[in-house]
Amino acid sequence: MNQVMKNLVIGLVLLSVRICAQPAPVELLFRMPLENTTRLPVVAGVLTDPNLELQTYGDGKNIVVSIGKAATDPHTFDGLCERPCGMTFRDKRHYFDLRGRAKIKWTTIVSGFHRAQPLIKLADGTLLVGDQAQGSVADWQQSEVSFSEVRWLALDATRGVTLGRWVEHPDLSKVDEVGYFDVIPGSGVHQEGVAVEKLPNPPVGGWVAIAAFELWGKAVGREK
């Protein structure tokens, strides 16, 4: 074999190694499916996909779905949360494998110092909030969060506060729930006897709104 052929063979071998080392492609696992008929708290059965369940954390019961005819409607709005709050989605059929190229794609707008941060619940029940904090105060913004770049802290499900040190190498191969968390309370004021969906939007300065939420990764079947 002459030198040219040797170099060609070596080049092909190196190329095949690089291709094999590439993370597997991901697929769209779900899009956030919200009703757009009545302004309601998210705990009131606002999902249009029967395969998805919605869970809330911290003061997440006060997150509402704002409706309308704009391109960003319907959207979630957490300005009426009296404590840190968040929400997640759970698929009844499968877990989520969030390794490799897995990511969240979302459309957000925020006010003040508020930011949207990824929230996950592992198969063993551990609740984690990520350090990637996103959102623009100027306008709705589309962005992505790659799970491979996120660092995690444990989250108290009731109080909505972070706990302990960084969680090293959490098992993302079987994630039960995925969503977002806002570590700052909303700027809205509650009125005694008035349902949260009837309250006016709070002033500028304290909220996160999300108009689109997509999860990309791989599906892992739940045990029967």
DSSP sequence for 148-196: GG--EEEE-TTT--EEEEEE-S--TTSEEEEEEEESS--S----TT--G
Q: What integer pLDDT is reported at residue 17 of this predicted model? A: 45
105-133 pLDDT per residue, tens: 999 999 999 999 999 999 999 999 999 99
In this predicted model, which residue has the larger pLDDT, 86 or 20? 86
CATH superfamily assigned to domain 25-221: Galactose-binding lectin (2.60.120.430)
Q: Which two tokens stand for residue 142?
A: 């589309």
- State the burial class of residue 135 (Cβ atoms within 10 Å of its Cβ: 0-12, 13-18, 19+): buried
What are the extents of the domains in the chain?
25-221
Q: Tell me the pLDDT tens digit for each residue of 3-31.
A: 666 666 566 555 554 544 566 899 999 99
pLDDT(67) > 60: yes
Which residue has better confidence, 196 or 102?
102
Classify 35 in phi/psi space as left (phi over 0), alpha (psi -120 to 50) or beta: beta
Q: pLDDT value at position 37?
A: 93
* 1-15, 67-81, 198-212, range with greatest mean pLDDT: 67-81
Give the residue among 160, 26, 158, 176 at the shortest CA–CA distance from 84.
Answer: 160
- The pLDDT of residue 20: 47
Query: What integer pLDDT is reported at residue 202 of this predicted model?
Result: 79
Q: Name 165's Cβ contacts closer than 8 Å, sequence gap at least 6.
A: 153
Residue % of the chain over a pLDDT of 90: 79
Q: What is the mean pLDDT of residues 44-68?
A: 96
Q: What is the pTM of this model?
A: 0.87
Structure confidence at residue 19 (pLDDT) = 44
Q: Which amino acid is at 54?
A: L
Q: What is the mean pLDDT of residues 61-80?
A: 95
